[in-house]
Every structure is written in structure tokens, then in C-alpha cells.
Structure 1
Amino acid sequence: MTPVLNTDAVSLSPIALFLQADIVVKIVMAGLLLASIWTWAIIIGSWLKFGRIRKSVEKFERDFWKADDIDAFYKVHGESDLPIARVFAAGVTEWRRSTAGGNVDRDGTRERLATAMAAAAAAEVDKLSDKLNVLATVGSVAPFVGLFGTVWGIMRSFTGIAQQQNTSLAVVAPGIAEALFATAIGLFAAIPAVIAYNRLSHSINRIEARLNRFADGFHSTLSRQLELEGRR
């Protein structure tokens, strides 16, 4: 049965627009609102998390380069959950495995150290990037979901015109208002998601660059140690 549109004055209140909407448009609006809440939870949580990680990474790196004994430093910080600590632990673990025997293949050890730390850094970056795909998905899909609500609302308006044989604004306005409101919610969900995705991706890139610089510096330190042991 074709729904009859409310021809009373249309309230611009978001709650009123939602309540007056068709069930399909209501589902679209509710889904977009949930996506927006989820997006903001990810944005706030990731922003705070990345801020803590940046500060902790800077402190770890300062403490490491001030340390005189790598083994002693590893005993204290080797079990840390920090990304840079895991890169450091991967390097120490590979160093111990490669130098455990009597004859040390220096070139092979250097290659394995570089591979182990690069793999650890990549794994940490993957963990940090885990939820960014949600932001990318919301940013790209939400406008189209809102557009679907818009199309449905306009179709409903035309159905009301055909049923009532009346082209006055009072007949068309409710469906158009609902349609535009669905579009607005889609943009409300998508715009912060896109902005946050770009900013958080930049933060992850900075952390990744720092991890790689630390891995290169630590690799150079261990490489020099290999040369010293080779001369003995």
C-alpha cells in the first residue's frame, strides 16, 4: 500500500525528520548515525593512542642511545609493548641467534638483522593501521548510503504527488526534507572519517619512519660490533 505523506508543516528538527521518515530512510539514518559514532570512537581512541606512542618512542630512543650496555638495556625494556621496543627485541634476538656459534657469517648476520627488524617494524605499523580501514570505508561509502536515502525520499515524494494529484509544496516537502536529512547525515559521517584517515595515516607514517631510522641506527651499531669481534 502506498504511504500517505504528512502534508502538515514540516519541522526541521532532526528528531522530527527522523520520526516522520519512511522505515527505509529511518534504517539508513540509523546506520549512518551508528557509523558516525563508531568513527568518532576510532578517531578519539587512535589520536590518544598515537600521541602516547610518539612520546614513549621518543623516550625509549633517548634512553637507548644513552645506554652503555645493550644486554642490560634489553633486560629492562625487552618485554615492552612499544613498537620500537619490539623492533629492538627482534634485532637482539636475531643477533644472539646469529652469533651463538663459533664461526659467524658477518654478511649473513647483517642481512638477517636488517630483515628481522624490518619485518618487526612492518608488523607494528600493520597493527597501528588496523582500524584505519574502517575510517576509509565510512569515508567512501557513507555519502552513497546517504544518497540512497535521498533517492528513496524523493521517490516517496513523487508517490505522494501521484496519489493525491497535488503538486503543492506541502505534499512534496516532507519527503524532500527527509531525503536531504539522510544526505546530511551521510556527509556528517563521511567528512570526519576522511579527514581523520588522512591525519592518522600521516601520524603512522611518522612513527614508521622513526622505527626504520632506529632500526638502521641499531643495525649500524651491531654491524660495528661484528667488525670488532672479527678482528679479535
Structure 2
Amino acid sequence: VIKKTPRRPARGSGPNEIFREHFAQIGTRLEMYADDAQLAERLGHSSLWRLYLVAVKEIRTRRAQGADTSSVSAATIEAIRCSMDGVRTRENQALSSKLSTLSNAIAGGPYIGLLGTVLGIMVVFLGTAMAGDVNINAIAPGMAAALLATAMGLFVAIPALFGYNRLITRNKEVSADMRVFVDEFITRLAEMHGESQFSEAAHSRGHHASVPA
């Protein structure tokens, strides 16, 4: 007997990719994964998972209050979209909250080098004045200090620049994924539970019932 092992996500796949794989199989059962504790543990860092949970929570809250969620009005669908957009905005804010440190390092690093250059030149003139003669021993300490400060400024600014660009690219990808997911979920909700679909189904049942056998 050949035993099949469950397919693992590709190496480097993040929680959002794992959730996308599961959501692709959800079909018409939009609330299927909301109570899956194991999946919730795996997707704790997934922004798409948090968007999904808030949408399901909105549906269940209305159902608990007596609303008929089998026929959801356009206003209710728009309200659910607004709730998801609120979570999406907070997720984007959380993604960009740490970028200020890197931007400060990028902007401040060259100024550290400039400050070192100025201080180094001052030390050169001071050493030359104290020695009373221009020689390597009077110039070397100031020039070394200037070069060291410049190198330290570049050492801070260059990695911060690469990290900042990488994070900006990743944040844009995550933001695009969230925007697409909100549209996809709302479209499926309207397709499965929208008033128009409910009315069409009722009309179809009434039409078939009126046709003589």
C-alpha cells in the first residue's frame, strides 16, 4: 500500500500563501475554516486570516441577532466590506510602523559621515597648530577620525537602504494580496448569499412549481 504524505507548502511560503491554498478549496462554505483551531495556530501571523475572521464574525453577529444571512442585502455586504477595509488599514499601518527607523538610518547615516569629516578636519588643524609644522604625525589622527566616521555612516546607511527597499516591496505585495482577498471574499459573499441570488433562486423554484407535470 502506497502511503501518501500530505503536501507541504513550498519552502519560503508564508502564512498568507498557506491561507490562500486553503481558501481556494472553500467553495461556497465561506465559514468552513473559522473554527479550525489547528489552522488558526498555523496562520497566527497571516493578515489574510485576520481579514477572513473579521468577515465571518460580522456574518455570525448578524445571524445571532436574528438576521437572515441566507439573503444578505447590498448594504450589509458593504458594511462587511468596510469592516474588512478597517482591518486592512490597520494591517498596513502595522507593516509600515517599523520603516521609520530604517528611513532615519538612511537619512542620518550620511550626516554622521559629514560630521566626522568636519571633526576630522578640525583635529587636523588643531594638531598642525600644536605641532607648529605640517607632518604626517599631525595630520594622521584627524584624517583617520574623519575616515572612520565616514565609514561608520555608510555602514549604517547602506544596509538600511537595502532593507528598506526590500520591506517596501514586501509590504506592497502583502497590501495587494489583502486588497484582492477583500474583493474576492465580498464577491463570493454576494454570489452565495446576496439578495439577488436569493430572489433568483426563489423565482426559479416558483417557476418550476407552476409548470404542470
Q: TM-score range by the shorter chain?
A: 0.7 to 0.9
Q: Offset of 1:105 from its aligned partner?
A: 6.7
C-alpha distance after superposition, 1:50-86 (max 9, x if no partner): x96x532112112112024222311114674221100
Q: 1:110 to 1:78 in 2, by over 3 A?
A: farther
Could you tell me which of 54, 58, 62 is aligned with 1:94?
A: 58
Q: Residue 159 of structure 1: CA displacement?
A: 0.9
Distance in 2 between residues matched to 1:105 and 1:59, nearest whole Å: 29
Determine helix, strand or coil for the equivalent of 1:166: coil
Partner of 1:117: 84
Kept in 1, the 8 Å contact 2:72–2:194? The answer is no
Which has the greater radius of gyration?
A: 2
CA RMSD of aligned residues (A): 2.2
How far residue 98 of structure 1 moved from its aligned partner, in angstroms, is 4.1
**SS of equivalent residue, structure 2 residue 24:** helix
Aligned with 2:162 (options 164, 185, 195): 195
Give the alignment partner of residue 20 of structure 2, picking from 53, 56, 61: 61
Partner of 2:113: 146
Shift of 1:197: 0.2
Match of 2:132 in 1: 165
Q: Normalising by the residue count of structure 1, what TM-score does the alignment of the two structures yield?
A: 0.70
1:226 corresponds to which residue? 194
Alignment-derived partner of residue 177 in structure 2? 210
Identity of aligned residues (%): 31
Distance 1:157 1:124 in 2: 52
Unaligned runs of 5+ in 2: 1-10, 203-213
Alignment gaps of 5+ in structure 1: 1-50
**Between Structure 1 and Structure 2, which shows a larger proportion of helix residues?**
1
The superposition leaves residues 99-144 of structure 1 with CA deviations (integer Å, 9 ceiling, x where unpaired) of 5444777122122121111121222222222222111111111110
Normalising by structure 2, we get a TM-score of: 0.76
Mean CA deviation greater in 79-88 or 151-160: 79-88
